[in-house]
Chain A
Amino acid sequence: QKEVEQDPGPLSVPEGAIVSLNCTYSNSAFQYFMWYRQYSRKGPELLMYTYSSGNKEDGRFTAQVDKSSKYISLFIRDSQPSDSATYLCATMDTGRRALTFGSGTRLQVQP
């Protein structure tokens, strides 16, 4: 079993739709939860991070972590064609301080 599981997609939505991206993880030691966005032929860039459980909102983006079910979510409101990218969830335990990534979900927002 992979430590972080993510549906690879692709996910295609019309412009303006609400997008839900999800990951599950297996290691209870993970304390930090991140979402990175990766455009084609580019390196990943940090979108949001959450420490432990709870919600975090930043503009059109909301990250949720449910540690009881080991579930990580990213919601994108009013999706735009510029949001088309691969979204990678990532986790980190405070001991090792190394990121463990999911396989990424490819999102396509149709204009």
Chain B
Amino acid sequence: EAGVAQSPRYKIIEKRQSVAFWCNPISGHATLYWYQQILGQGPKLLIQFQNNGVVDDSQLPKDRFSAERLKGVDSTLKIQPAKLEDSAVYLCASSLVRTVSYEQYFGPGTRLTVT
């Protein structure tokens, strides 16, 4: 079974620029999550999708972050404009159904550096 795919793996941008990350979850997984992991901290949930609908985006900084999941499969997370404090690893995860969402499968992450 293929795992969660993410791209790019690394990205360096200057502050005020925009950036986009892509995620392809495990086939058949209905629930998709985006997390932000700052160095030395645990992952923090940004947004949760159930199929192509948003279930929880309470911790997403909506003035600069946006995410979409078209057709209930792939997802993109965008930051515009980026700030220095956005430097982090952005992890995508998926789970089969929301009722067993403690079992999440994570991708390798995209390491973002904002200079």
Interface residues of A (CB under 8 A from B): 4, 6, 8, 32, 34, 41-46, 49, 88, 90, 92, 96-104
Query: Which residues of A sit under 8 angstroms from B103, Cβ to Cβ?
Result: 46, 49
CB atoms of B108 and A99 under 8 A apart: no
CB atoms of B106 and A45 under 8 A apart: yes
Main secondary structure of the interface of A (DSSP, over half): strand
Q: Is B48 an interface residue (CB 8 A)?
A: yes
Complex alpha-carbon distance, A23 and B106, angstroms: 22
Complex alpha-carbon distance, A88 and B41, angstroms: 9
CB atoms of B43 and A44 under 8 A apart: yes
Query: Which residues of B sit under 8 angstroms from A43, Cβ to Cβ?
Result: 4, 91, 93, 106-109
Query: Which residues of B sit under 8 angstroms from A103, Cβ to Cβ?
Result: 40-42
Complex alpha-carbon distance, A96 and B48, angstroms: 10
CB atoms of B42 and A98 under 8 A apart: no
Interface residues of B in 79-115 (CB under 8 A from A): 91, 93, 98-99, 101-109
A92 CB contact (under 8 Å) in B40, B93, B101, B105:
B101
Given contacts A8-B40, A34-B102, A46-B104, contact A99 B45 (CB under 8 A): yes
